[in-house]
Amino acid sequence: MLMLEKILKPFFKIRHHWQCISFNEMAVLYISKNMRVFATKLTSTFSLIYIYKFTHSIWIIPICILIYYIAKFTGSMIALFYISKNGPKHGMLLANILFIPALVLMASMGIFGKEMGLIVALISAVFKGISVSVENISYNVDFSKAKTAKKVGKQLGVAYILEHISSSIAPAIGGFLAIFFGVEKLFVVSSVILVLTTIPLLTTKEQVKPVRKISFRGFPWRNYKHLLIICYSCGMAWNSLYIWSFFAPVFLLKGINAYGSAGVLSSISSIAALVSAFIYGKVIDKNKERGILKIGAIFMGLVFSLRIFISSNPLLLGILEIIAAVAMNGFNMANFKGLYGEADESGMRMQYLFLYEIGMNTVSVIAISLFVILFFALQGVDPSGELSMKIMILISSLSILPMVFTNYRIYRNKKRQFQE
């Protein structure tokens, strides 16, 4: 244990002008985060497929996605007020607790039958959406406060490496368990792991002092107009990924077990991203993040768009998944360096990161609402929903490209990068 601490201490012992977080504190944060990633990745890849196979109704898929994003929008506001009063670690604890009912409801759909099962699936999407949004804001606030500006690339690299290890293993294991033991049992296993995930968060005290009232008075709005483009492109990117996770195994890989193919595709992406995270971390610490962001945005937009047109070729699909994963990893790491840097600069870190999350969720709610309208409008000529999903994935993917023009203030002034 002492040797492990010596090896990892440079990554996890992070000093800040107002705070000194110990090795154990950061270890608890990352252990809990990656336990959650593993637990959720066991099932999230298969959730929409399971609902579709259970109900035999394609129309429920766009409705579930819309409800999920509406819940995420609501969860953003819940997160802001809860974290401000209790701290981000308590927010992560709440997020884990809220995800458990979503899994339990999914596991019990068979008990309620087809008609009630649809309602259960929608309620599950509500819990899941709120949980994800609370987790996102909580984790980003905690990480942005704990980071060291001069080593943020390395720290992001470590965070993404650990996350991708969990992300690469979980879907493959989940696909295996779903095939041989049933998806219902998979939801139960995931719930148990999430219960255990709360334990590390209870072992250390909250590092952030609560505030009585959250306010946006004095927020430098003029400095961050580019957040509109960022929220638009990032929100549309997540729309593309969410719909793709259902579209690829159901429509492109029809002759292969849907659960197995979804798990393998997700694992391939995570392994590719895992390898690239270490390299990106070093490059970002050399202040070359703007180039990574631009290249990542271009490749994401083009590859995400092209892959909907390929035939049912698992090899070609796997190659495109690797390219997409490597591009997206660089995009995310460079993007979050910019976000965390501007959150510091704004003097209102929590409010800034809240605006990012709720901005993305607003874009997603509007876009998916239009997707639902399109889906039902094309039912006469596209009863399977394949065409409407292709159109939505294409529009969402091309909407990533405006990120090429994003120039974070932290990118423009290199000296600002090292001010805490």
The answer to whether the CB of 388 falls within 8 A of the CB of 266 is no
Buried b (16+ CB within 10 A) or exposed e, 231-263: bbbbbbbbbbbbbbbbbbbbebbeeeebbbbbb
| pLDDT of 418 over the 50 cut | no
Separation of first and last alpha carbons in the chain = 31
- Whether residue 169 lies inside any domain: the answer is yes
On the CB side of 244, CA atoms within 13 Å amount to 25
CATH of the domain at 267: 1.20.1250.20
| pLDDT of 117 over the 70 cut | yes
Closest CA to 338 of 258, 223, 212: 223
- Whether residue 190 lies inside any domain: the answer is yes
- Whether residue 12 lies inside any domain: the answer is no
pLDDT of residue 4: 36
Q: Which of 212-226, 287-301, 354-368 has the lowest mean pLDDT?
A: 212-226
- Whether residue 223 lies inside any domain: the answer is yes
| pLDDT of 410 over the 70 cut | no
- Whether residue 9 lies inside any domain: the answer is no
Query: pLDDT over 70 for what percent of the chain?
Result: 83
| pLDDT of 3 over the 60 cut | no
Q: Which of 138-142, 155-159, 205-209 has the highest mean pLDDT?
A: 138-142
Read off the pLDDT band of 367 (50, 70, 90): very high
Mean pLDDT of all residues belonging to the chain: 81
Q: Which of 48-52, 251-255, 406-410 has the highest mean pLDDT?
A: 48-52
| Single pTM value for the model | 0.85
- Whether residue 10 lies inside any domain: the answer is no
Count of domains forming the chain: 1
Give the single-character DSSP code of 205: -
- pLDDT tens for each residue of 12-42: 343 333 234 444 566 777 788 888 988 888 8
Closest CA to 122 of 104, 99, 100, 106: 106
On the CB side of 266, CA atoms within 13 Å amount to 33
Buried b (16+ CB within 10 A) or exposed e, 362-391: bbbbebbeebbebbeeeeeebeebbebbbb
- Whether residue 371 lies inside any domain: the answer is yes
- The domain of 172 spans 22-418
pLDDT of residue 22: 44
| pLDDT of 179 over the 90 cut | no
- Whether residue 226 lies inside any domain: the answer is yes
Query: pLDDT over 90 for what percent of the chain?
Result: 32
